[in-house]
Amino acid sequence: MSDGSDSFAQIALSLASIAGEFHLHGWLMGTSGNLSAVVNRDPLHLAMSPSGVDKGELSHAQILMIDEHAQIIVIDEQGPAVSDQPAKPSDESPLHVRIAKERGAGAVLHTHSIWNTILSDLYAADGGVAIEGYEMLKGLQGVSTHLHREWLPIIENSQDMSTLANSISEVLKQHEHAHGFLLRRHGLYSWGKDLAQAKRHVEILEFLLEALGRTLMISRQTARRVDDGFGHNHR
Amino acid sequence: MSDGSDSFAQIALSLASIAGEFHLHGWLMGTSGNLSAVVNRDPLHLAMSPSGVDKGELSHAQILMIDEHAQIIVIDEQGPAVSDQPAKPSDESPLHVRIAKERGAGAVLHTHSIWNTILSDLYAADGGVAIEGYEMLKGLQGVSTHLHREWLPIIENSQDMSTLANSISEVLKQHEHAHGFLLRRHGLYSWGKDLAQAKRHVEILEFLLEALGRTLMISRQTARRVDDGFGHNHR
Amino acid sequence: MSDGSDSFAQIALSLASIAGEFHLHGWLMGTSGNLSAVVNRDPLHLAMSPSGVDKGELSHAQILMIDEHAQIIVIDEQGPAVSDQPAKPSDESPLHVRIAKERGAGAVLHTHSIWNTILSDLYAADGGVAIEGYEMLKGLQGVSTHLHREWLPIIENSQDMSTLANSISEVLKQHEHAHGFLLRRHGLYSWGKDLAQAKRHVEILEFLLEALGRTLMISRQTARRVDDGFGHNHR
Amino acid sequence: MSDGSDSFAQIALSLASIAGEFHLHGWLMGTSGNLSAVVNRDPLHLAMSPSGVDKGELSHAQILMIDEHAQIIVIDEQGPAVSDQPAKPSDESPLHVRIAKERGAGAVLHTHSIWNTILSDLYAADGGVAIEGYEMLKGLQGVSTHLHREWLPIIENSQDMSTLANSISEVLKQHEHAHGFLLRRHGLYSWGKDLAQAKRHVEILEFLLEALGRTLMISRQTARRVDDGFGHNHR
């Protein structure tokens, strides 16, 4: 049995680096959001960001290792053991565990951006957002054409983590090809086989949600009316 | 009695660092905004940003120490004494003093962002902005659910600092759970038990004001109309 | 015959630097976009960004050299030779080759920005976007007045690179003065005699597309209505 | 007589630093915009940014010294002399000279931002933009209350620099308290007694133009309608 401690150090550095980059984008403001990556598959051990820290200042040394019950595992010379340290993994750790298990994901990233917040509310009644026809979709794993239609399910927000975890399991089963989902007025979850792929998926979904959101601010009718005012768009 | 000079140096470094970060966000453009933190509670001494400086270049050495009358305190080997130095604390220092006293705040931060400027005007007639239903609200001290309703009072702007300080006292008493307030067409004030918490509150309130402002640019009707033009949002 | 290896090293450094800067602007998110520059004209050799890499981390050492068939050329002491290395040039390399040949371009840059994505769709039915009357247009090679009218053709997106390359050739012939074109819901291609000029063209076209897109969000009618609400714009 | 060469070196460093910061804000894309500061008042010598350079890479060594006819002055051990060097001062140098003389300005800065471009067009028929009621206005030299009304005149763009210089002179005389003006679909000019003040004025005017532009995207009617959809803004 491997205790995963070597790869844990590498993964912790990568998680801190991605946290810093996403914070710069404004996707992890005010201690929001969380990040994880699988260190060991069986038993499941995740490197997990701690609760309540400023992601713009997150250090690799603050990354925790948790088991599938979201309990902290201490890494010492005798191997992992349950921790008595004061740091606390993110409250949403059970959601990361669920996604890691049900999707076989190697990394799970959760962001709170302006656009994912807005669209998660605007389309809540539809149960999800459809994104199709964009070249950018090809960056999602397994997608080979812009004609792909990505359905990003929206799940009602809750403070009950086991309710939320069960809703997520159900949605993941119903939408087996989804690359992410939105929690209403809360944020985006995406994942990948490893951290690089999960990061790519977040960047792509955030880009497409912003493109969609800004498109909603321009109706075709307005576009025509403004054309008449500012000039004519004819060859 | 402690003269607070040790912690003052640490606090001054933190204030300068937060000023630089907020300036990068565009929240302290053109010498606007100001920042303070409590160095000593009784008598009240605040570390305070000076008036009229570019916050993108604010150095810890420029941070002043003031008393509850917004008079500069000089730190020397004989302890604090009233200063004769030319630098001037922010004109809004009395507002910081008022908030530090009435809320028992350990730090007070004041930003001028595009979105707080716009919403402070748009909702002025209502006397405040209601923000509810967002997961991000949980980052505010004492808030444990997204169902929380934050009422951000709006106070009419004035150049008379004692009028403004009195309006603020009144609003703070009326809205004892508020985590901040807006001055109309002026900016946001928020605070916390310490600088880390105050910074977190500013980031959260700025995020939510931006989310609210951008949502106002998309009416549901427009969303539907555009859906018809660009595709259909059905499963 | 020159093997171009000296200039290749310089060009690779410049390509990596531009990739980093454009990534910061959000124009190359999620491994999207690609960049090339001519190393040798006859036979045509291009320095080309590889497929599937994060442009925020692109290193000069990852830049590939390709021939006019988009085959990798290995640079060694015996001169260029076809490669057996695992890295893969961008799938859109044939489009870069086509533009380099038909426009005599020394560099070709392709970005995926929010605004080029939105406008490439909004004006698709018109076959292009007209941009005129802006001082910024003068930064485009050969343009000496803001009265210039730039027509940015829009080409329907496709996954068939030879179809796309042929559509591009046709459009380049029809619009011989165009400084770039849009692929629908995909992105912008621009070019220049060298990398500095191509970069300048991308910055100018991205700026103008954003200015146009944001103008569409304000109708003159709204502007008047809001003036009445917020104040009067009279001398 | 002082040849100004000492202060020139300092001023050149400051101009390059401001250019880099404004480029980061996106106000000087694609070689647009230009910057100057007075080195000597009589005869008038200006440190001036060169024509056609990427402002994100502008070095102090590229800053030129020009006289009141926009001719380059060479600084050598024998003092200033007319230059034969290939670098060219900005085409808009005569406009900087005019402003330095007529306003007694110590520095003149010209930016091309998205928002100044849009508003310079939207309000062109009114001859200017009125900005009033914002606390941020107090950062403009001589303004002591948010009740101040700043009138930012808009001048029709032209490629004839002497026509433009004359239009500017006329506008400066008509609006003797203006802190800047807009060239239609071109950009903003602002100035100050020194570089620090000119930079502050640009940041403030850019902030206020963005606040105004974004406000135009939200009509009060929309705000109410969306309130009904997303919640109610009542105490």
pLDDT in tens, A108-120: 999 999 999 999 9
SS3 call for B221 = helix
Least Cα distance to A75 among A127, A40, A110, A102 occurs for: A40
Which candidate from B223, B229, B234 shows the least CB-CB separation from A220? B229
Average of pLDDT values for B195-223? Answer: 88
Say whether pLDDT at D225 is over 50: no
Type of residue numbered A170: E
Q: For residue D80, name the pLDDT band (cuts at 50, 70, 90).
A: low
Cis peptide before A43 (omega within 30 of 0): yes
Report the percentage of chain B scoring pLDDT > 90.
83
**Interchain pair D220, C226: CB under 8 A:** yes
Per residue in C168-227, pLDDT (tens digit) is 999 999 999 999 999 999 999 999 999 999 999 999 999 999 999 999 888 544 554 444
Chains that touch C (3 or more CB pairs under 8 A): A, B, D
User: Residue D26 has what DSSP assignment?
Assistant: T
pLDDT at D227 (0 to 100): 46
Per residue in A46-92, pLDDT (tens digit) is 999 999 999 999 999 999 999 999 999 987 655 556 655 578 999 99
pLDDT at D74 (0 to 100): 83
Mean pLDDT, chain D, rounded, equals 90
Contact at 8 Å (CB) between D45 and D80?
A: yes
Say whether pLDDT at C82 is over 90: no
Per residue in C115-159, pLDDT (tens digit) is 999 999 999 999 999 999 999 999 999 999 999 999 999 999 999
Per residue in A125-148, pLDDT (tens digit) is 999 999 999 999 999 999 999 999
Residue B71: Cβ within 10 Å count: 13
Report the percentage of chain B scoring pLDDT > 70.
86
Average of pLDDT values for D54-59? Answer: 94
Say whether pLDDT at B86 is over 80: no
d(CA B105, CA B9): 19
Per residue in D140-165, pLDDT (tens digit) is 999 999 999 999 999 999 999 999 99
Report the percentage of chain C scoring pLDDT > 90.
83
Per residue in D185-198, pLDDT (tens digit) is 999 999 999 999 99
Chains that touch D (3 or more CB pairs under 8 A): A, B, C
Type of residue numbered D161: M
Report the percentage of chain C scoring pLDDT > 70.
86
Q: Chain D residues contacting C, CB < 8 Å?
A: 26, 29-32, 54, 56, 112, 114-115, 117-118, 121-123, 126-130, 132-133, 151, 157, 159, 183, 185-187, 213, 215-221
Higher pLDDT, C62 or A1: C62
Torsion of CA B159, B163, B164, B165, to 10 degrees: 130
CB contacts of C30 in chain A (<8 Å) are 136, 139, 200-201, 203-204, 207
Type of residue numbered B24: L
Say whether pLDDT at A5 is over 80: no
pLDDT at A221 (0 to 100): 47
Q: For residue A230, name the pLDDT band (cuts at 50, 70, 90).
A: very low
d(CA A197, CA A150): 17
pLDDT at B218 (0 to 100): 82
SS3 call for B30 = helix
d(CA A101, CA A99): 5
Q: Can you read off the two tokens belonging to residue B3?
A: 């003269």
Q: Chain C residues contacting A, CB < 8 Å?
A: 26, 29-32, 54, 56, 112, 114-115, 117-118, 121-123, 126-130, 132-133, 151, 157, 159, 183, 185-187, 213, 215-221
Picking from B224-228, C39-43, D216-220, which range would have the lowest pLDDT averaged per residue? B224-228
Q: For residue B231, name the pLDDT band (cuts at 50, 70, 90).
A: very low
d(CA A223, CA C69): 41
Region of D165 on the Ramachandran plot (φ > 0 left; ψ -120 to 50 alpha; else beta): alpha
**Interchain pair A112, B136: CB under 8 A:** yes
Least Cα distance to A233 among D39, D167, C122 occurs for: C122
d(CA A139, CA A146): 10
Q: Can you read off the two tokens belonging to residue D101?
A: 């003389």
Task: Locate the DSSP E strands across C41-175.
Answer: 45-48, 64-66, 73-74, 81-82, 107-111, 128-132, 149-155
pLDDT at A225 (0 to 100): 42
CB contacts of B216 in chain C (<8 Å) are none
Say whether pLDDT at A229 is over 50: no
Per residue in A16-31, pLDDT (tens digit) is 999 999 999 999 999 9
Average of pLDDT values for B35-51? Answer: 97
Higher pLDDT, A20 or C83: A20
Interface test with B, best of A28, A32, A215 (most B CBs within 10 A): A32
Cis peptide before B153 (omega within 30 of 0): no
Per residue in C7-25, pLDDT (tens digit) is 999 999 999 999 999 999 9
Mean pLDDT, chain C, rounded, equals 90
Say whether pLDDT at A1 is over 60: no
d(CA C17, CA A13): 24
Least Cα distance to C150 among C162, C161, C137 occurs for: C137
Contact at 8 Å (CB) between A179 and A140?
A: yes
Say whether pLDDT at D5 is over 90: no
Region of A136 on the Ramachandran plot (φ > 0 left; ψ -120 to 50 alpha; else beta): alpha
**Interchain pair C159, A136: CB under 8 A:** no
Cis peptide before C43 (omega within 30 of 0): yes
SS3 call for B184 = coil
Average of pLDDT values for D18-28? Answer: 96
d(CA D115, CA A79): 58
CB contacts of B218 in chain A (<8 Å) are 118, 122, 213, 216-217
d(CA A203, CA A24): 13
pTM, two decimals, is 0.92
d(CA B235, CA A161): 27
Say whether pLDDT at C96 is over 90: yes
d(CA C139, CA C145): 10
pLDDT at D217 (0 to 100): 85
Q: For residue C83, name the pLDDT band (cuts at 50, 70, 90).
A: low
Nearest CA distance, C208 vs chain B (angstrom): 22
Mean pLDDT, chain B, rounded, equals 90
Chains that touch B (3 or more CB pairs under 8 A): A, C, D
Average of pLDDT values for D61-77? Answer: 89
d(CA D85, CA D80): 13
